[in-house]
Amino acid sequence: MTRGWGGRAGAGVLVLIALGVGQAIGSVPRYDATFEAPHPVDGRVGEAVPMRAGSLLVTSAQVGTSAGTGVGGLVTDDAFVLVTLEFTPNERDDSILWAELRDTSGRTWSNTVHGTRNCMLVPPHLTGACYYLIEAPAEALPGATIALSTSANDQRFDSMAVVDLGLDADQVEAGTTTGAHLDIPYTALVDPGSTVPGGPSATTPTGAGPGPTTSTGGTP
């Protein structure tokens, strides 16, 4: 059967309508990334930060140019920042498994590049002390914050601690120009707040505790 021009024109119009409907459907915003963004909880060094999975306390931030770990020393021409923290899970074994250092201009650094961490799972209602070591340019550290999450691979939907490290230019210079060496502490179960400089003494059932720390520099 041969279709006339009228039929062809009708089919063409239908095709155009279908394309228009497809275009309209495609332009409907189907995905909004804002609803899945992590929920930031701001904090400072020495202040408890309530997170969904537990309570976080960043106890110190130290700057240096070398750091000792269990398998070898790390050195840098820039700066290492060693952030020690305590985490007390609420309801299940948990820990701080992800960190990101952020400067005031929006740049980010990860411990996975040239750094390390030793945060391990802690049973609920017990407090574990651990650390993150992150390398960054010295000029990025004054005013820097550290973002911390309990999920290593997917930080969406959950609370995220964003802690001001309280570092100023003098403290950073003191840590870098003297070539301060950062002693890496062991993982330890501790009394909450015991590793804050000036706090109660730590109980260290799994190794030598971090002990009191200073906010700048380390062991030269």
Partner 1 sequence: MEGSTSVRTGSRTRVRSRPRYAKPTPPWWRSVLGWLLKDPVRLLAAAGALLLIMTAPFGGWRTAEPEQARVLQVGEQGTFAPFELTVHSAGVTRSQPGFVLSPLRLREKGAPGDGLYVVVLATVRTTSDLTVTGVTAPTITDLLWPADLPRPVENGAPADPDRPLSAVVYNRADFSQLSGVGPGLTYEVAFVYATASPVAELPETLTFTVQQHTYRADTFDRSTTAWLSPETVAEIELPLGPVPPDAFGSPNSEGTP
**Where on the chain is the footprint of partner 1 (CB under 8 A)?**
2-3, 8, 31, 33, 36, 68-69, 71-78, 100, 105-110, 112-114, 135-137, 139-140, 153, 156
Smallest gap from Cβ 111 to partner 1, in A, equals: 9
Distance of CA 62 to the CA centre of its chain: 16
Tokens found for residue 187: 């993982």
Q: Which is nearer to partner 1, 3 or 198 (CB)?
A: 3
Smallest gap from Cβ 72 to partner 1, in A, equals: 3
Q: Which is nearer to partner 1, 39 or 156 (CB)?
A: 156
CA distance 36 to 42: 18
Q: Where are the beta strands (DSSP E) in the chain?
A: 39-44, 48-50, 54-68, 73-89, 98-102, 108-110, 116-117, 127-136, 145-149, 159-164, 181-183, 188-190
Tokens found for residue 185: 């502490």
Smallest gap from Cβ 144 to partner 1, in A, equals: 12
Q: Which is nearer to partner 1, 28 or 71 (CB)?
A: 71
Tokens found for residue 91: 């309801």
Smallest gap from Cβ 143 to partner 1, in A, equals: 15
Q: Which is nearer to partner 1, 86 or 135 (CB)?
A: 135
CA distance 38 to 176: 33
Q: Which is nearer to partner 1, 58 or 99 (CB)?
A: 99
DSSP H helical ranges for the chain: 5-27, 111-114, 169-177
Smallest gap from Cβ 110 to partner 1, in A, equals: 4
